Amino acid sequence: MHKWNVYKDLDEASKFAADFMASNINKSIQQRDVCYVILSGGNTPARCLNFLSGKPIEWSKVHWYLADERCYPSGHAERNDLMLKKNLWSIISETNIHVIPTELGAEDAARVYRDIIKNIEYFDIAFLGVGEDGHTASLFPDNKALLDTRSVVPVYDSPKPPSDRVSLSSNTLKKSHCKLVLASGADKAPIISRIKAGVSLPINSLGDINWYVDEATQTI
């Protein structure tokens, strides 16, 4: 069941989402001396990641993975790993970063990343986003990648540029121990309403999610 946490604005929602992430990261480290975290790109997570960077966490025991990546050359301004480096990885003291090498192309990058995560039984935390069409990571409605049962999948014909991407599969995301989504703005209100109504969408295929949203998403 989805758990909805509604706050005044994105800044406040980001602070509480960062608190939630920090608590669960520390819990995982206490329980098994490591924490595997999935992160999404886009603009919305940036402030939350800034808040997270200031938390008292044994960063050397946290391993970071990407939910998805766009097939651009390494260092391209539109890659997700660049946003994550700017807003989190370059700020914290120690990093264990596992990027998706999409400069190799979707098929080869997916194969390489499957090998990178093959020994991870489950991820502790998946910090995801949601699009106005209900997509999450690079799993878009009616895209063939949704039916791919491998742990990491190539994505073609994305409705948003670039058309080629790589994504953790719905099976992989579903198995994450703790999932959260941060969303804001009135433009997200229609999809939030559909999610609450239980419409069949990629984001609704992942099971229980902790939602951190602002009041503007509740306008319908």
Look at residue 59 in the predicted model and tell me its pLDDT. Answer: 98
36 DSSP β-pair partners: 63
Tokens of 166: 């790589």
Instruction: Encode pLDDT of 45-71 as tens digits.
Output: 999 999 999 999 999 999 999 999 999
pLDDT score at 1: 83
The answer on pLDDT for 220 being more than 80 is: no
Residue 138 structural domain:
3-218
Overall number of domains in the chain: 1
Mean pLDDT of 191-217: 97
Q: With cut-offs at 50, 70 and 90, classify the pLDDT of residue 177.
A: very high
Quick: pLDDT tens for 102-118.
999 999 999 999 999 99
CA-nearest of 175, 166, 164 to 137 is: 166
Find the CATH number of the domain harbouring 16.
3.40.50.1360
pLDDT at 219: 86
Question: Nearest 10 degrees: CA dihedral of 50, 135, 62, 43?
Answer: -20
- Across all residues in the chain, what is the average pLDDT? 97
Give, as one character, the DSSP assignment of residue 89.
I
User: Across residues 38-43, what is the average pLDDT?
Assistant: 95
Is the overall model pTM greater than 0.85, yes or no? yes
pLDDT at 80: 97
Give every CB contact of residue 66 below 8 A, 6+ residues apart in sequence.
38, 39, 40, 41, 80, 81, 84, 98, 99, 100, 168
